[in-house]
Amino acid sequence: MSTSTSYVLYGIKNCDTIKKARQWLDNHHIIYQFHDYRTDGISIELLEIFIQYLGWEALINKRGMTWKKLSDEQKANIIDATTAKELMLKYPAIIKRPLLTTTNNDYLLGFSIDEYQQFLHHRG
């Protein structure tokens, strides 16, 4: 395994789960770049990669306030990758977080200590 794997953590700075993930990474001396959807944005190209590897259904956070604030009509219109991508570009806060990625196209969505330990152990 190459030790040159680098990590990017995607999310929103003030999200509690992001804070937990960042604290865990920092405590374990994992070097990563943080990409804040609100300040750094998200490109169509990056979103298409996320959809390719994770699926659009997994990326939409239906438990968050952004989803809950959508009208029933807006929710009903999310039927495929194209409509989901449009929604996520318009409302990046609707993207489930955190999303930890590597330069080797490995993706881990959500945060749990066990999953992070396993994910990082196999790439270290």
Report, as residue numbers or ranges, the catalytic residues: 15
> CB–CB of 120/30 below 8 Å?
yes
Distance, in Å, from the CA atom of 74 to the CA atom of 53, rounded to the nearest integer, reads: 25
- Alpha-helix runs per DSSP H in 11-100: 16-27, 37-40, 44-54, 56-59, 65-69, 72-76, 81-90
- 3-class SS of residue 7: strand
Distance, in Å, from the CA atom of 104 to the CA atom of 64, rounded to the nearest integer, reads: 29
